[in-house]
Chains A and B, each alone.
Chain A
Amino acid sequence: MPFSAQPPASGERYALSASLDNARHLSSLLRAVHFQDHATCLATASGLRVTVEDAKCIQANAFIQAEIFQEFSVQEESVMFRISLSVLLDCLTIFGTSSLPGTSTALRMCYQGYGYPLMLFLEEGGVVTVCKINTQEPDELLDFDFCSTKVVNKIILQSEGLREAFAELDMTSEVLQITMSPDKPYFRLSTFGNAGSAHLDYPRDSDLMEAFHCSQTQTNRYKISLLKPSTKALALSCKVSIRTDAQGFLSLQYMIRNEDGQICFVEYYCCPDENITEAEL
């Protein structure tokens, strides 16, 4: 593909360099975690992970495996930097966000290393745009310490069943309460808003339920404003896994199939809301 502004020849070593035929494979995933302005990018040999956090309570990660890229090379063991996600998304979608079939924006991404800006070369229909985005010191990221051995309850649902529910959540409620249980109501989402309470129940034998492994009845509350952004990830995904551990930490993992049928993941971790007690509800 002819670039008038060619990236420097391979004599230069880049900490990170990657090529992607269709920038949408990256931009749509990043949008699913775009609830804060800044994100931390971590590139390793296995791929790119973009992390966004808020209020020290919630963390979202978008994973784009190396296999999704046409070219992906990381020089050191890992490369990490903080960047404005808003600006990054604006650049990736500089040719517009509508996806006409057949047209796509090609992307080449280069990062020289610590202190250097992230360079993006975007091309569509012969038009090339070069972007340079400043990078910053990466923040320390939360570690939810969520591993499969600590999982108490886990269900996997088809996203179709949850999409409308999440989009219509009563936002006058401060919390979203999630109940998971081996007995009724099995899986319940509850809100407590100005009009009254609302409960959404999914039975364990529902067609939407792909897997149901609940050993203990757990009810946890999470700040609804923190979880609402996950609706974007839900909208893109075909399946979602919902897991809680003994402390009530919530893990939402979304399986997303891109236009070429490749699988990517987005996950959200959230702390339970300690402030609201049973009595207040």
Chain B
Amino acid sequence: LSRIGDELYLEPTESGLSLRAVNSSRSGFASFLFAPLFFQLYEPGSAGPETELFRCKVHMKSFLGIFRSLPSLEKSVGKCLILLKPRASRLVLQLHCKYGVTKTHNLAFQECERLQAVFDTQSCASHLCAPARLLAEAVVHFPPTLAEVTLGTGPGGKISLRNYVEDEAEPSKTMVTELWLAEDEFQSVAVAPGSHITFCLKEFRGLLSFAEASNLPLTIHFDEPGRPVIFTLDDTVLEVHLVLATLSDLQSTSQSPSTNGVSRLPVPSDDFADDLESYMVAMETGEGGSERPPSPTFPLRTPRPAQREPQEEEEEEEEGAVPGTPPHKKFRSLFFGSVMTPGRPGAATTQEVLAEDSDGE
């Protein structure tokens, strides 16, 4: 998670403890959901009708600092207790070590909005499942500094991996590495022929090391260029998702509505101001051809720090819906808002519902 973002979001839920991170351009999101069975004891606290289960975010570095030395942790720590104390504003991590020694860390946290990316593995056209080792061995051929890689499907069901070279780069000065993997090296292949996606390798490497270490097969769900690619790891007690934005094809300046019929927010074109306010204004005025009036989940407000009110859930979405155009790459940022047509309640992913209609409560 630290390869993605600088802040660790902790969200206890009924189905387990979710640890999440998002990158600064909101084009990468990862979540690790640890089922209650993973723990010796799991008490998410009680959510009343007015309040939700408490969630917070902490600095990634502070959290990681506690688990600094893995080998010595394995040798000396018996168990770890994690307590979230909202009233004391502290996240308590207590390590019970050998010889009766107890290490207690009281971390300051910040209250935060719900962090959730919009994605749906079922709506993806292509799915690949491979042992982590296969992908790790493939990725090792690329230089550690490589930013983006293109995954494609080729003739004969072969899968290719190629480093992404920007158009502006001089052909004579660039090195292109391409490797092909046979279909039978994968555990399952269900891909749309001729498809390809380009995503950030650096953020993917983090997940790959985890998958390798835990010996879990990695599933890749992808669709057209521009739609996010979703990597998942599944285990009896752990569910991992990594969602990365992909480069859209330069030919298309706006995304055509995808085939799953989910109505989308108007996609900002590349020369849109990089600023939430103007985006919201565009939404309200119906620019971009949205066929629906602005959803009640997007009240027109300038973003402000999330406050603990019943309205919180609505504020979150707005907080997250940052229009695209991060720096020089043409990645779309993942839309954190959710606009669900009432007729498709099942469009939600295996994740929890992103935003309930306010009438639904």
List chain A positions with a Cβ less than 8 A from chain B.
161, 164-165, 168, 170, 194-203, 205-208
Contacts and interface: CB of A to CB of B under 8 A. Distances in A.
B69 interface: yes
B307 interface: no
B65 A195 contact: yes
B100 A205 contact: yes
Task: Specify which of A194, A195, A206, A207 lies most central, judged by the most chain B CB atoms within 10 Å of its CB.
Answer: A195
Interface residues of B, number: 21
A200 B59 contact: no
Given A198-B104, A201-B102, A205-B100, A164 B72 contact: yes
Interface in B93-130: 99-108
A22 B143 CA distance: 49
Contact of A208 (B66, B90, B101): B101
Interface string B62-104: 1001101100100010000000000000110000000111111
Given A200-B102, A208-B101, A195 B108 contact: yes
B301 interface: no
Contacts of A195: 59, 61-62, 65, 105, 107-108
B65 A200 contact: no
Interface of B: 59, 61-62, 65-66, 68-69, 72, 76, 90-91, 99-108
A191 to B, nearest CB: 10
Given A196-B105, A196-B108, A197-B106, A206 B65 contact: no
A218 to B, nearest CB: 20
Contact of B100 (A165, A168, A198, A206): A206
23 contacts: A161-B101, A164-B72, A165-B103, A195-B62, A195-B108, A196-B62, A196-B90, A196-B91, A198-B66, A198-B103, A198-B106, A199-B104, A200-B102, A200-B104, A201-B104, A202-B100, A202-B101, A203-B100, A203-B101, A203-B102, A206-B101, A208-B99, A208-B100
Nearest to A195: B62
Given A205-B100, A207-B99, A208-B99, A198 B76 contact: no
B243 to A, nearest CB: 28
B83 to A, nearest CB: 13
Given A168-B69, A170-B65, A201-B101, 12 more contacts: A164-B72, A168-B68, A195-B105, A195-B108, A197-B105, A198-B103, A199-B105, A199-B106, A200-B103, A200-B104, A201-B103, A206-B100
